[in-house]
Structure 1
Amino acid sequence: MSRRAADRLKIVLNHLDRSSSAVRSSFTSAQTVSYHPRSLRYTLDTDVLSPEQRIAYEENGFILIKNLVSEEDIDRFRSEFERICKGEIKVPGLLVMKDVAIAKTEFVQDQKAVSKLQDFQEDPELFRYCALPQILKYVECFTGPNIMAMHTMLINKPPDAGKKTSRHPMHQDLHYFPFRPADRIVCAWTAMEKVNRQNGCLVVLPGTHKSTLQEHDYPEWEGGVNKMYHGIRNYDPSHPRLHVEMEKGDTLFFHPLVIHGSGMNQTQGFRKAISCHYASADCYYIDVNGTSQENISKEVTDIVTQKYGADISLSFEETWALRGRLVHGERTSLKWIL
């Protein structure tokens, strides 16, 4: 270890040994949980994160980086999204998702009925987000240098139609992923405009990345639930929570076990965000049969069958292998476990 790296490590350990007060001052609305001194499990030393930022992620499972993505880039992503919604371009493999309460009333091809674009890896303009150098330099702090972009989304939370369907239930992203280890996976979530409690900002439960994957299913909501919006069956509603309000270009990086969701959009505008889940290329696939992830596995493989026909048979793991794209370093290939 170089002298510089050793000095940085010493600083972090000293901070961890003292207290987690730096974390509390960064997130005054939330309380940290289960403090573990001398634990550097979730971050890597890349000379990018400050000691305080490493402590915050170790304790809370997320950090917010202000003004990371330029207004010019975000406006380009917005323009591409609108072209897709209008049917001006077709993107192979793209899943266009519609709000369950709005889709039945909107007959014009426009963004009003579209709640999310998922799997945009074949769209060069939107996929530029996943390879932005300023994003990847932070991602490397969690995944290491060999980085795969695994899951892409542009979220267009619509004004709530009165059925509260614009909510997203509290969940853990790892529920959707058949690859491990969880600690080498991270999400980058960038606000494409001002995001606040009125238009349905993210709500996170600090420290829940230290727990295990919980059982998920569709919540029993009176107005219905959007496709694949699974939520945790049981979680402690009294756990301290943080509403993450963001400005255009701000980016939240968070662990896949962090429990999070979002509230209703109570405005007349659309709350847009673009995100990518990254994983170390050294990760490996697992068999989710017989686990709590079996329900999402079946749902995904059924969608593939409906979309491409019964002649195309893909396992849950294979659907993810097809989506993954190398964005930095070497493709050490997300090794399979047989």
Structure 2
Amino acid sequence: MGDLGRGIIDWNSDGKILTAEQKRFYQQNGYLVIRNCVSEADIDRYYDRFKYIVHADKSEFPYVSVMRDITLSNTQVVKDVNQVTKIQTWQDDEVLFDYCKTPLIVDILKDLIGTPQSNLVAMHTVLINKPLDTGAMSSRHPMHQDLQYFPFRPADFICTAWTAMQTVNRDNGCLTFVPGTHKGPLLPHVHPDWQANNKAYHGIRDFDPSTPRVHVEMEKGDTVFFHPLIHHGSGANKTDGFRRAISCHYANDDLCYYSDERNETQDSVDKDLMEIFERKLKNLGIELDMEDLDYSITFKIRSRPVNGTKSNL
């Protein structure tokens, strides 16, 4: 990986928001938790919007992906938030996109992957409604690296903001991280050999489950920022309710670019996600020859600037 920030970031000086100590913690560990980052009122507004989208006619939000857990695949589809595990690609919805533009989040990101003048782009958006586990442990997310899903680089100038929409702890499946692993390479990923495994849930191949990790427990409004190479995942939700969070993956548009740098297992995740993309297009009445399309098209279509302009991505 080399030097995180590649000389662009001064890790020994205070940023606009973060102290030098906080910046160095991120540099060394690959993640950083900021408490009370998003207001309760905004989070409640995003949850209300989530419920509205779930119950709305598909034609009102044609590009939003509404996803259900694999254990519900054989049940009757109803418009019920209790059947939806996440909604994603909602970057064109102005209510939810307000989250991506949260001034404090944007300024923190500039401290971590750019400068006060940097142009940031939202590359992928998701609101997670982790369900109570039915016993198949499908609500787990295996330990993985987000860069496995991204056709753009450099990794040092990509960062995720993930905000708890309620109390998040080990009981309902908080995020877990292996500090410092962002300094290593992108590892091969595979579908976990689990009883129930949701599509596109890939995990690091041969990951040692005894590896020490940090369980990041959070309260409503707390936000964790993390590097796309850090090993992370989440446990099963063992409570009677749902575990909700809202998240956006960002890139520094001044420094990032689409790349064909691949590892041996990224073709598998590309295939999964292109199948989802093709299904979405067909639902919209759009027929395309997918053989002629590169996976990066899925990001080129949905990436949206959160400040400034978009040029590279």
- Whether TM-score is above 0.5 comes out as yes
Q: Decide which of 15, 19, 26 is 1:57's aligned counterpart.
A: 26
Distance 2:229 2:309 in 1: 26
Range moving further from structure 2, 279-288 or 263-272: 279-288
Q: Decide which of 86, 91, 101 is 2:71's aligned counterpart.
A: 101
Confirm or deny: 8 A CA contact 1:142 1:185 kept in the other structure: no
Give 1:197 deviation, angstroms. Answer: 0.5
Give 1:43 deviation, angstroms. Answer: 7.8
1:239 aligns with 2:211: yes
1:329 aligns with 2:294: no
One-letter code of the match for 1:183?
Answer: D
1:218 aligns with 2:195: no
Q: Decide which of 253, 260, 270 is 1:297's aligned counterpart.
A: 270
Q: What SS does the aligned partner of 1:108 have?
A: coil
One-letter code of the match for 1:320?
Answer: F
Kindly tell me: are residues 59 and 108 of structure 1, through their superposed partners in 2, closer, same or farther at Cα, counting changes over 3 Å?
Answer: same
Sequence identity (%): 49
User: In the alignment, which residue of structure 1 is the partner of 2:98?
Assistant: 128
Distance 1:68 1:161 in 2: 32
Distance 1:103 1:272 in 2: 21
Range moving further from structure 2, 272-281 or 43-52: 43-52
* Larger of the two Rg values belongs to structure: 1
Give 1:295 deviation, angstroms. Answer: 1.2
Distance 2:163 2:28 in 1: 22
Range moving further from structure 2, 73-82 or 138-147: 138-147
The unaligned stretches of length 5 or more in structure 1 are 1-35
Kindly tell me: are residues 72 and 296 of structure 1, through their superposed partners in 2, closer, same or farther at Cα, counting changes over 3 Å?
Answer: same
User: In the alignment, which residue of structure 2 is the partner of 1:169?
Assistant: 142
TM-score when scaled to structure 2?
0.89
Q: What SS does the aligned partner of 1:268 have?
A: coil
Kindly tell me: are residues 72 and 43 of structure 1, through their superposed partners in 2, closer, same or farther at Cα, counting changes over 3 Å?
Answer: farther
The unaligned stretches of length 5 or more in structure 2 are none
Confirm or deny: 8 A CA contact 1:205 1:242 kept in the other structure: yes
One-letter code of the match for 2:110?
Answer: E
Q: What SS does the aligned partner of 1:316 have?
A: coil
1:195 aligns with 2:174: no
Give 1:287 deviation, angstroms. Answer: 1.8
Confirm or deny: 8 A CA contact 1:165 1:226 kept in the other structure: yes
User: In the alignment, which residue of structure 2 is the partner of 1:160?
Assistant: 133
Range moving further from structure 2, 198-207 or 307-316: 307-316
Kindly tell me: are residues 330 and 87 of structure 1, through their superposed partners in 2, closer, same or farther at Cα, counting changes over 3 Å?
Answer: closer
Q: Decide which of 198, 223, 236 is 1:251's aligned counterpart.
A: 223
Give 1:41 deviation, angstroms. Answer: 4.8
Give 1:217 deviation, angstroms. Answer: 1.6
Confirm or deny: 8 A CA contact 1:143 1:184 kept in the other structure: yes
Distance 2:219 2:66 in 1: 26
Give 1:318 deviation, angstroms. Answer: 1.2
Aligned residues: 297
Distance 1:42 1:111 in 2: 45
Confirm or deny: 8 A CA contact 2:5 2:156 kept in the other structure: no
Q: What SS does the aligned partner of 1:151 have?
A: strand
One-letter code of the match for 1:72?
Answer: A
Distance 2:277 2:72 in 1: 24
User: In the alignment, which residue of structure 1 is the partner of 2:279?
Assistant: 306
Distance 1:250 1:95 in 2: 25
User: In the alignment, which residue of structure 1 is the partner of 2:9?
Assistant: 44
Distance 2:222 2:7 in 1: 22
